[in-house]
Structure 1
């Protein structure tokens, strides 16, 4: 870019003299800019804006940040109403405050906007999505989930919910919330639930990440946000299919091409566009009144200044530390996490972060990201960002998944946080076992879990994974002074100022003791001293004379798991939310300690082995609804579920080699019943199958 070019002189002049283009929240909102860069003219904020407003999509240039893209449009007419699409395209900031979508159609007729919507209607599926679980809506639960699972870290809490600490004062909100569109105008229940369940399907750039939710949870949140009354999901309005007019669609295609929509959205090759170098401009989007045909961004004065500052020096190299910082700002990680003294939930939002109050703020607030690149091993950090590594089940706020947007982040954090570490000496595994334990050690297991073993007191995070998670140099520094990493932590130091409080082990050598703790965790050999080998059996349930039936949270069976332990040694977990058997296993049944005594109970595992799983219900199995269960005189359960309103009885009992399953229903009301079976078993049809009755034997 030539800094002497006429357009650039003009743009710099505009940047100095222009007033804000709009009042209030008319300007586009980039959360990281508003919170950390709006008060200055540093090029860092301009780089963030250039990326997040999509400038790089049109004009090129590597910002070093994850690409900001518009949502997927191939199915947009099957998730949003045509009326809302037309209104939004015609005037984006009016229909979603703070949107980064520019105003493209200021001088166009309504017929042009209508034509664009008709073109979009030709790009993909014509059938709106329909969640499998849409029978029942619990808006009270949806209200709670919206306010406690992490949504309000970015979006504004609502006045109809008060967290346990009480509703915060408006003055405690110190940074702006991401505005939602008028949801009732844009979505119906089914389509909003799909967006909430997995926004990455339609917004793969990760600016709205995916919070891990069960499908029913997403339906409940959607029902709450739409202000639905009543609980019958089948009675709510459905999205009307949109039928495109061919002539209008062809006109719309030409308009989409002219207005370069493919610069930000993934669209067919027929409307693809090429990059427009900034040198070719004689005017630009930075102006208050851009030339006809150019996008109109209602930029604030601060945004104009920052963009101009960045463009003047955009060729300067970007250090890894700054690239990491701006990536975290672009993805709004600072809404939940503090790093280097910046970010974290503001005073008002802290009240909505819930967890185990016994652990203090550590039990409810996400951990700091200060030094995360030297704290966490790269593989573990990558797995955490993918959503597959969790060690804090007591946090109700869920760590979301950002997809490909965070692909470069582990390496960036590692590079930016790297420093020369103090090497630890070789560790002594047996000394580490003793140090972690309660028999002459420092009693870590008093507060921390160890794998599937509960601690002896509060249930702090699992220490058995430390050698997979943590870098040994960081661990030493943390154990010497935990409060330096997380002020207010309940974690004490047993090596204050680097001096061991326990001199009986390894002569009180701090480095050898910490190295030994790490070595024991890495070895995977046994348990810390003080955890009895059979400790979990104190609350182990063993069915003897009749089945044991209980509720819990169970991996692969969800939050509505109903466990059935049979004296024959074959056991079942039934998913009451999806109305289906989930898993079965053999051997030991279940340890009820966490279910009964831990306030934020984790998702448990069966104690046995030979686990087999049922697949999730297929669409062909009809609309299912759980209707409860009953026990016969022997304690064997019969689960009840309905398929399209017809009640089915599902009796499952143990045999010496597996399970017998018998299903009965009114054959006149339901002619056939598709049934799925667990994988990895031999399925045989048992005697007695007939119309309205199916009986199977599962052996494995």
Structure 2
């Protein structure tokens, strides 16, 4: 079996190079551990041949950066971290000690040791000092205080959303974690709250190869996870940089602080309520100088409970005064580079208390504003920098970066400023497997990789196979396996019997619905995943991450397009096409209505387990049905619904078509292919699909019992002047008094009035029933210069149309009245009458002109396809128009096709036209 590995979080760097040193180094003496490659550690014993294991190590140790591409059987190298601006994110003290002895500082790192950077006592020597000075020459690094509440929240997040799937349970001692758990090292010595948060928000900017993916953390989650990872920070290293004043008293609005005397003053490290000695009836005022790195527009974020205000250079930027719960306020603010005076005012009345002020934009990741503040107008020096760094030392470090081989693996600078390696290394074809960096006792001119004897032997096997030309071309499945191993997909997912959640990590995978068992907490297997998922959706998931299973704590991370492009292409080979097209005897709107019935609580009850857009399921909360046709391939959908157990053994998904027989045989033709295809067609409408029955439990359904029912309110698909009319026959319509026309028709339930009758009643409400059809927009009647003239499409009122209200006949049926710009008074009455299988509507339009009008027209229908069959007109195989009285014109138009009724009118004489609508 051919495998490669993995993703690695938060190690500083990989460097593999040939260099000229002055002494010989023993690899075992310099290494407290060995390089950890999770896929190698997990699969070497049972699943990897020596050569395949060696190829995996060659990829993950970045050997190809120095020795060139080996062959097509070795994955592209795991690129070393980008070191441009490294001083902004990494402590210079950490850089020095790590460069001198990588394995001691971070056990498990793939970074080799360099004798040229270590003194005899194992401490950093002058070269390490110089190299660290160069890397930190642009440093703005500064430690920040870590909040205990954030640490507690971050611990829970880290061990639930997927971080621990690669790095293991950090609550255990390191020696108790499995060997394939990627070590983190002492992050509190390396990062600050701001720099680690920035890295986690976009890890691909620093580690472009996707081994450390993004979990798309929110700003709040970023701060909490970062705080947990830095929980061991020595707080004495944190420099207070914000002034505060504390006041005691009871206020319901922000007080005038100039009239108050503080009970205490001091310096703090962040703008939070922790600066107060009380938790009720107090106020705080923070001040300092915000050091803006470059001119541009920034976003200021404020969250407070209770009132607060942010002022920059004396100008109120955000105000959230009064008593209120915490909420997020954001404002944009243009600032020049340099210091800006900041004042933050806050008061707490009673109850919960919170204050958080952040900044982002113009290249800054969202972070606490205090991270960029100083007490005085002058910017503070980096906390762990020497008072003055000798420029010659920095230049010496730059030269070492090029000559030692750092530049072979690490990027530093862009374009012409990018530093290049000044030496070369032999290609894989010319490597001697017992010498150089593969030698247990490295010579004077090579880096020292911390490798076990087996790791070294496996790398030799891979090189010899390449040199002897005994490597065979990988199959598609072997290539998929290699990529999935390098990205560490197998720590969460199983594919074709390989991988899946390790026993050691099982308890780290949790879900919110215990009744779902493992299906609700363990990520799904990837057997045939390219057959299951639409290529565009699979691309989206791998490129951008996803959270489609709200019940599952673990998230699908974001790997980045450049790292998964080849995998996407290979997975398309999973596709099967076994399901034949399905033809329906009924019109599509009727098919969708039957599917809606099946999904609802009167048939298959899919809504009991699945979300439907914003509506929660009535039972367990599984994947949203409105996303299914976007996510899944139609062919797989058919096969899965026909036999769920065949695709996911043990699933709680019931079989609605056992042995190909439907449990609801009276719907459509009762066959599995037809019913499944109907559900697919219905779900293709996504969030626009009609809501299945059983979800709107608080609905106020209006019902016409003996007489028509008129509902005047905001109706979805109409202007705010919509008027809906219900009939006891269960055929309904909506008329738009803005467009002077009937716009919607439907069957079944009329409308749910709860949106408008409960609370403030905002928004538009969609009809409640089925078979809803949208009729032509624009006025129903117009006078055309010729039968070739375009139907008017401007706003009816602006063209001179006037709505005259409506009248009711003795049965309560309304007739809508309006006047055209040409002086024609129009009387439009629609009635329902019983028919099979559902009632139909008869429309009677009476036109009375002020003068002779030979070319008045009624627009009956528009559609892509209009055909005349057996004395009736069929619109898009959905609506049938019959019993038309008058001269009918079928013509092409900008909307496809139109069906008009031409009526010559005599002055002051009423002319009547009618037709029946069946759908």
Which TM-score band applies after superposition, normalised by the shorter structure? 0.5 to 0.7
User: In structure 1, what is the Cα distance between the partners aligned to 2:29 and 2:476?
Assistant: 35
C-alpha distance 536-228 of structure 1, shift in aligned 2 (>3 A): farther
User: In structure 1, what is the Cα distance between the partners aligned to 2:113 and 2:31?
Assistant: 17
Alignment of 1:538-577 (within 5 A): none
Instruction: Name 1:458's counterpart in structure 2.
Output: 620
C-alpha distance 497-444 of structure 1, shift in aligned 2 (>3 A): same
Task: Select which of 540, 545, 552 maps to 1:395.
Answer: 552
Instruction: Name 1:323's counterpart in structure 2.
Output: 479
Is 1:193 aligned to residue 197 of structure 2?
yes
Is 1:55 aligned to residue 55 of structure 2?
no
Is 1:277 aligned to residue 277 of structure 2?
no
Task: Select which of 354, 364, 383 maps to 1:240.
Answer: 383
C-alpha distance 483-477 of structure 1, shift in aligned 2 (>3 A): same
Instruction: Name 1:365's counterpart in structure 2.
Output: 522
More divergent stretch after superposition (53-62 vs 39-48):
39-48
User: In the alignment, is the contact (CA less than 8 A) between 1:447 and 1:458 conserved in 2?
Assistant: yes
Structure with bigger gyration radius: 2
Cα deviations by residue, 1:414-457 (Å, 9 ceiling, x for unpaired)? 23423453445346534433332232x32211211112222222
Instruction: Name 1:152's counterpart in structure 2.
Output: 164
Aligned alpha-carbon RMSD (Å): 3.8
More divergent stretch after superposition (498-507 vs 345-354):
498-507
Q: Cα distance, 1:405 vs. partner?
A: 4.8
Q: Cα distance, 1:134 vs. partner?
A: 7.9
Q: Cα distance, 1:170 vs. partner?
A: 9.6
Task: Select which of 541, 546, 550 maps to 1:384.
Answer: 541
Instruction: Name 2:122's counterpart in structure 1.
Output: none
User: In the alignment, is the contact (CA less than 8 A) between 2:166 and 2:182 conserved in 1?
Assistant: yes
Instruction: Name 1:287's counterpart in structure 2.
Output: 439
Instruction: Name 1:16's counterpart in structure 2.
Output: none
Task: Select which of 635, 654, 671 maps to 1:473.
Answer: 635
User: In structure 2, what is the Cα distance between the partners aligned to 1:152 and 1:483?
Assistant: 30
Is 1:502 aligned to residue 647 of structure 2?
no
Q: Cα distance, 1:60 vs. partner?
A: 1.8
Alignment of 1:345-360 (within 5 A): 345-357=501-513, 358-360=515-517
Instruction: Name 1:37's counterpart in structure 2.
Output: 44
Query: What secondary structure sits across from 1:407 in the alignment?
Result: helix
C-alpha distance 472-404 of structure 1, shift in aligned 2 (>3 A): closer
Q: Cα distance, 1:143 vs. partner?
A: 1.7
C-alpha distance 136-279 of structure 1, shift in aligned 2 (>3 A): same
User: In the alignment, is the contact (CA less than 8 A) between 1:174 and 1:346 conserved in 2?
Assistant: no
Q: Cα distance, 1:23 vs. partner?
A: 12
User: In structure 1, what is the Cα distance between the partners aligned to 2:76 and 2:764?
Assistant: 47
What count of residue pairs does the alignment treat as equivalent? 519
More helix by share: 1
More divergent stretch after superposition (455-464 vs 409-418):
409-418
User: In structure 2, what is the Cα distance between the partners aligned to 1:369 and 1:443?
Assistant: 27
Is 1:260 aligned to residue 410 of structure 2?
no
C-alpha distance 365-480 of structure 1, shift in aligned 2 (>3 A): same
More strand by share: 2
Q: TM-score, normalising length from structure 2?
A: 0.51
User: In structure 1, what is the Cα distance between the partners aligned to 2:697 and 2:664?
Assistant: 26
Q: Name segments (4+ residues, structure 1) moved above 6 Å.
A: 22-25, 133-136, 229-232, 235-238
Instruction: Name 1:684's counterpart in structure 2.
Output: none
User: In structure 2, what is the Cα distance between the partners aligned to 1:304 and 1:384?
Assistant: 36
C-alpha distance 438-406 of structure 1, shift in aligned 2 (>3 A): farther
User: In the alignment, is the contact (CA less than 8 A) between 2:86 and 2:139 conserved in 1?
Assistant: no
Instruction: Name 1:432's counterpart in structure 2.
Output: 595
Cα deviations by residue, 1:4-53 (Å, 9 ceiling, x for unpaired)? xxxxxxxxxxxxxxx99689972211111111234543433222211111
Q: Cα distance, 1:359 vs. partner?
A: 2.4
Q: Cα distance, 1:108 vs. partner?
A: 5.1
User: In the alignment, is the contact (CA less than 8 A) between 1:382 and 1:410 conserved in 2?
Assistant: no
User: In the alignment, is the contact (CA less than 8 A) between 2:88 and 2:139 conserved in 1?
Assistant: yes
Is 1:91 aligned to residue 91 of structure 2?
no
Query: What secondary structure sits across from 2:159 in the alignment?
Result: helix
Structure 2 residue runs of 5 or longer lacking an equivalent are 1-25, 120-124, 239-267, 276-369, 372-379, 585-590, 701-755, 766-919
Cα deviations by residue, 1:584-623 (Å, 9 ceiling, x for unpaired)? xx94499xxxxxxxxxxxxxxxxxxxxxxxxxxxxxxxxx
Is 1:206 aligned to residue 214 of structure 2?
no
C-alpha distance 480-64 of structure 1, shift in aligned 2 (>3 A): farther
Q: Which structure would you say has the larger RCO, counting Cα contacts within 8 Å and 6 or more residues apart?
A: 1
User: In structure 2, what is the Cα distance between the partners aligned to 1:106 and 1:170?
Assistant: 31
Instruction: Name 1:181's counterpart in structure 2.
Output: 185
User: In the alignment, is the contact (CA less than 8 A) between 1:355 and 1:394 conserved in 2?
Assistant: yes
User: In structure 2, what is the Cα distance between the partners aligned to 1:20 and 1:306?
Assistant: 17
User: In structure 2, what is the Cα distance between the partners aligned to 1:24 and 1:108?
Assistant: 13
User: In structure 1, what is the Cα distance between the partners aligned to 2:621 and 2:162?
Assistant: 22
C-alpha distance 489-178 of structure 1, shift in aligned 2 (>3 A): same
User: In structure 1, what is the Cα distance between the partners aligned to 2:81 and 2:167?
Assistant: 19
Structure 1 residue runs of 5 or longer lacking an equivalent are 1-18, 162-168, 539-566, 572-585, 591-700
C-alpha distance 152-22 of structure 1, shift in aligned 2 (>3 A): farther
Instruction: Name 1:617's counterpart in structure 2.
Output: none
User: In structure 1, what is the Cα distance between the partners aligned to 2:135 and 2:557?
Assistant: 30
C-alpha distance 503-43 of structure 1, shift in aligned 2 (>3 A): farther
Query: What secondary structure sits across from 2:442 in the alignment?
Result: coil
C-alpha distance 44-423 of structure 1, shift in aligned 2 (>3 A): farther
User: In structure 2, what is the Cα distance between the partners aligned to 1:305 and 1:458?
Assistant: 52
Instruction: Name 1:663's counterpart in structure 2.
Output: none
User: In the alignment, is the contact (CA less than 8 A) between 1:337 and 1:366 conserved in 2?
Assistant: yes
Q: TM-score, normalising length from structure 1?
A: 0.66
User: In structure 1, what is the Cα distance between the partners aligned to 2:430 and 2:206?
Assistant: 33
User: In structure 2, what is the Cα distance between the partners aligned to 1:127 and 1:589?
Assistant: 52
Cα deviations by residue, 1:518-576 (Å, 9 ceiling, x for unpaired)? 122114463264246x55768xxxxxxxxxxxxxxxxxxxxxxxxxxxx9x999xxxxx
User: In structure 2, what is the Cα distance between the partners aligned to 1:174 and 1:426?
Assistant: 55
C-alpha distance 503-301 of structure 1, shift in aligned 2 (>3 A): farther
User: In structure 1, what is the Cα distance between the partners aligned to 2:494 and 2:689?
Assistant: 36
Instruction: Name 2:461's counterpart in structure 1.
Output: 309
Q: Cα distance, 1:73 vs. partner?
A: 1.0
Task: Select which of 558, 563, 571 maps to 1:414.
Answer: 571
